[in-house]
Structure 1
């Protein structure tokens, strides 16, 4: 599965600790992240992560493009709801795209933990079915 990590500045420590706790689950998947967040995760774990630009420089949009292409399976976006973000329209667009394409999205640690518990149990097989169906439609 393709999994994306994004975290606002005040939530980066939380996401790093979260990925450390779930490293055994995450290591078997393709991982993507906005720049600074991904660098922090890689520094503290052995996870290999494809880095995009930092969020304010377009990284959120790069991940959003993968969501729109149905190439992202899960997004963990630890948002800071108490701090205004200069790139708020990009954040809103990414969340909207996850809703449009039914991509599971966690914006906090509690939801992320539930999603990764489901991933560990193999409950995301429906994503593979959707990708196969989409591939068959593109061949027609």
Structure 2
């Protein structure tokens, strides 16, 4: 499974602690994170983390794009609920996309623990079905494109 890991500055230590505590679960999955959060997770846990841009500089949109392409299976986003953010619309859009594409999203440690334990117990297998459907659709699209290319080349 592909898990997005995001944390506001005031929540980064909590995210690192969470990731360290669940390292034995998370090491079996692909982790994608905004830059600073990902670097801190990688440094403290030695887990492999793919980093995108910092959240306010386009990282939220990058992760949102992955959600829109069904390339994210879960989002763990430790938000700072007490501080207004200039990039609040980007955060709201990411939450909206998680709802549209039915991607589970935790915004605090309690919910994140439930999601990670549920994943470990095999309760997220429906996401594999979504991925299989997506892969079948990609194969169809590639075949269609090859057919169009052959027609355009006069073959």
TM superposition score category, shorter chain reference:
over 0.9
Q: How many residues align?
A: 140
Question: Helix, strand or coil: the match of 2:83?
Answer: coil
In structure 1, what is the equivalent of residue 25 of structure 2?
25
Q: Following the alignment from structure 1 to structure 2, what is the Cα–Cα distance between the partners of residues 20 and 95?
A: 25
TM norm structure 2: 0.87
Structure 1 residue runs of 4 or more that deviate by more than 4 Å after TM superposition:
none
**How far does the alpha carbon of each residue in 1:76-116 deviate from its partner, in whole angstroms, 9 at most, with x for none?**
00011100111111000000000000001000000000000
Higher relative contact order (CA 8 A, sep 6+): 1
Question: Helix, strand or coil: the match of 1:82?
Answer: coil
Gaps (5+ residues) in structure 1?
A: none
In structure 1, what is the equivalent of residue 13 of structure 2?
13
Gaps (5+ residues) in structure 2?
A: 142-155
**How far does the alpha carbon of each residue in 1:29-64 deviate from its partner, in whole angstroms, 9 at most, with x for none?**
111000000011111101010000111101011000
Offset at residue 133 of structure 1 (A): 2.1
Q: How do residues 1-140 of structure 1 correspond to structure 2 at under 5 angstroms?
A: 1-138=1-138, 139=140
Mark the structure with the bigger radius of gyration.
2
Question: Helix, strand or coil: the match of 2:46?
Answer: coil
127-136 or 52-61, which deviates more: 127-136
TM norm structure 1: 0.96
Q: Following the alignment from structure 2 to structure 1, what is the Cα–Cα distance between the partners of residues 134 and 69?
A: 10
Please tell me the root mean square deviation across aligned C-alpha atoms, in Å: 1.1
